[in-house]
Amino acid sequence: MTMIGFPPHPADRWSLATWQNAPANRWSFQHIREVVPTARVSRGTGAAAPLPQATGLDDEQTVWRLEGRWSTVAQVIEDTYTDGFLVLHRGQVVTERYPGGMPADRPHILMSVSKSVVGCLVGILADEGAIDVRAAVEVYVPELAVSGYAGATVQDVLDMRSGISFSETYLDPAAEVRLLEQVVGWAPRTVPELPTSMYEYLSTLSAGRPHGAEFEYRSCETDILGWICERATGTRLPDLLSAKIWSKLGCEQDMDAAVDPAGAVFADGGLSATLRDLGRFGQMLLDGGVAQGRPVVPASWIADSLAGAADTRDVFAASGNGTWLPGGGYRNQFWLPGGREVLLCLGIHGQMVWVEPARELVVVKLSSWPLPQEPAFLLDTMAAIDMIGFQLTLAAGLV
């Protein structure tokens, strides 16, 4: 077990090279403030919004797993390195558990679930007239006019359809996604000539194809969005996220935002929040962008995200991602499963928010998978969620 003892034995301590790897990540994902620099995203000063309790969930229901065997929902949760698991149905908690002993008030890293939070911020600023998603990114960040991003629209970036060349191969230390981690201070610097801040690095990226055509998932897109939000408003991202989203949800805890050496938020994966507060974020999306009776995210933004563009699902299928998400799509920093109306927020190592309006269902999962991507864990979790949704709607007499 990592970081046990006073002091911990050297072999049991995390390092900058190992904190994202098992078994260290089960500790480090819950202690980000001790691992990398973070900024505070204030919850505000109001009372926390209640999360009413409902009848407990029967987690002994069985699901068919990818490996070809039956298993209970409870076993799927246990087997997939779950740190926190929350199910809200009709705004009420039907299950809340912490299999690894994580305290309920402890923030956990969200990884790329952060992208969906930042995407919502763009939607809010677009509704306020601060950002035009049809405009080119260099309108807001002139430095990008001499980069590969020149000519890409904000919407291209929201939908991960810019033409930027950026590898998201997590197990390749030379991939741009891993070089970016060196820039922001999440990994030891093995390439000395890399820029010393994230925004400088983003300005060096080149394009490999026309903007607006193909879908390719790249974390750098969200960091561009964070930069645009700051430039469009003249306000740092931690303060924007607090004022526009986090302080309006009735959260119990502040959110943490990892920052680079220049103080820029690592927008694509650096946010940390508690399980319950992430549930409040999901419930706000389910409720059409409203929390505590006040609008937070425009309902039109949520509707656009669910619907996608006319060609969203076609370009998604052409990208090859249909093999694990058949009929799926990607819009405004949300994944869109096929065959149903769902907003899906995903992050590596098993972070998830599932928002399904038809079933009035929100599911949040925080995890510490050993590897960044574990397809069997993801698909088994989605099968378990489907069973949970079926069970709850059946009990409510809706099916």
Among candidate residues 112, 114, 203, 272, the one labeled active-site is 112
* Across 314-334, average pLDDT: 97
* Across 374-380, average pLDDT: 96
Say if residue 339 is exposed, middle or buried (CB neighbours under 10 Å; 0-12, 13-18, 19+).
exposed
- Rounded Cα distance between 380 and 386, Å, is 10
- Rounded Cα distance between 122 and 244, Å, is 10
pLDDT at 397: 66
Question: Is residue 292 over pLDDT 70?
Answer: yes
Banded model confidence at residue 334, pLDDT cuts 50, 70, 90: very high
Banded model confidence at residue 1, pLDDT cuts 50, 70, 90: low
pLDDT at 290: 98
Instruction: Respond yes or no: is residue 42 known to be catalytic.
Output: no
* Across 213-236, average pLDDT: 98
The candidate with the shortest Cα–Cα distance to 112, out of 350, 276, 354, 380, is: 350
* Across 186-198, average pLDDT: 97
Phi and psi for 366 in degrees, rounded to 5?
A: -115, 135
Banded model confidence at residue 272, pLDDT cuts 50, 70, 90: very high
pLDDT at 322: 92
Banded model confidence at residue 57, pLDDT cuts 50, 70, 90: confident
Question: What is the number of alpha carbons within 13 Å of residue 315 lying toward its C-beta?
Answer: 19
Q: Give 4 or 282, the one with higher predicted confidence.
A: 282
What is the residue type of 111? M
What Cα–Cα distance (Å) separates residue 160 from each residue in 119, 212, 213, 252, 331?
11, 9, 10, 32, 8
Question: Is residue 168 over pLDDT 90?
Answer: yes
Task: For 354-365, write each residue's pLDDT tens digit.
Answer: 999 999 999 999
Domains of the chain: 36-132+235-395 (3.40.710.10)
